[in-house]
Amino acid sequence: MWSRDLDDQIREALSQEIEAARPELEGLEERVISALATRLAKPSIWQRLRQLFLPGMTPRWAFAGGIALALALGFIIGRLITPSPTPLSSYAQAGTLFAVVDPGAQSVAVVGDFSAWQPVPLSDPDGDGVWTAVLNLPPGRYEYAFVVDGRWIGQDPLADEYVRSFGDYASVRYVGSGGGA
């Protein structure tokens, strides 16, 4: 089954599921209006709490204070739990080279079917803007792309060909028996 057939099958499967719920959604308009009318008739819990504890404080200041506290907590927790990236040494030293030249990039990764589309980080240890990773791939055809600071870069100049996928390009590399492209 090729990608396009699979795409059609997935689309059909989702349609069937959502179509099946149609009868249960009958009359939802009335239920929403009724619930809204009930809610609007009485003040919300937040409004009542604010009147009780913060009678002089505007909602904007109360909201800003809450955000500041949440950010501070988030920063502390984030520092504690952020994992370190996978070291390049975990990949084979000889194999297929993936490279991106982008001196301004903060993070560069390659994603592809060889990694089940999970990001494999590229590194730039000397800071010259050339990001590389060498992966030991068995012979075969591989679709991949780079993700540079969250942007999808589907057309690698080193690719053998390009394919269209999800409305954008992905690169294709054919790896021979020596492990190189």
Partner 1 sequence: MIPGELELVQKSLAGDLEAWGEIVRRYKEAVYGVTVAILRNRADAEDAVQEAFIRAYERLHHYDLSRKFSTWLFTVAANVAKNMLRKRRRQDPPAKLDCAPDPAEATWKEEVEQAVREAVWSLPEIYRVPMVLRYWHELDLSEISQVLGIRPGTVKTRLHRGRALVRAQLVQRGVIRDVV
Residues contributing to the site for partner 1 (CB under 8 A): 1-3, 6-7, 9-18, 20-22, 24-25, 28-33, 35-37, 39, 111, 113, 116-119, 140-141, 143, 145, 147-148, 150-152, 165-168, 170
Q: Which residue, 6 or 72, is less far from partner 1 as judged by CB?
A: 6
Beta strands in the chain (DSSP E): 96-101, 108-112, 120-121, 130-135, 140-148, 151-153, 161-165, 168-175
Min. distance of Cβ 141 from partner 1 in angstroms?
6
What are the backbone dihedrals phi and psi of residue 135, each rounded to the nearest 5 degrees, phi first? -115, 140
Min. distance of Cβ 158 from partner 1 in angstroms?
19
- Mapped onto helix, strand or coil, the DSSP state of residue 55 is coil
Q: Which residue, 56 or 83, is less far from partner 1 as judged by CB?
A: 83
Residue 88 near residue 136 (C-beta atoms within 8 A): no
Min. distance of Cβ 126 from partner 1 in angstroms?
25
Q: Which residue, 150 or 157, is less far from partner 1 as judged by CB?
A: 150
Q: Which residue, 161 or 168, is less far from partner 1 as judged by CB?
A: 168
Distance CA 17, CA 48 (A): 41
Distance CA 164, CA 147 (A): 16
Min. distance of Cβ 169 from partner 1 in angstroms?
11
- Mapped onto helix, strand or coil, the DSSP state of residue 130 is strand
Taking residue 132's Cβ as centre, other Cβ atoms within 10 Å add up to 16
Q: Which residue, 93 or 98, is less far from partner 1 as judged by CB?
A: 98
Min. distance of Cβ 171 from partner 1 in angstroms?
12
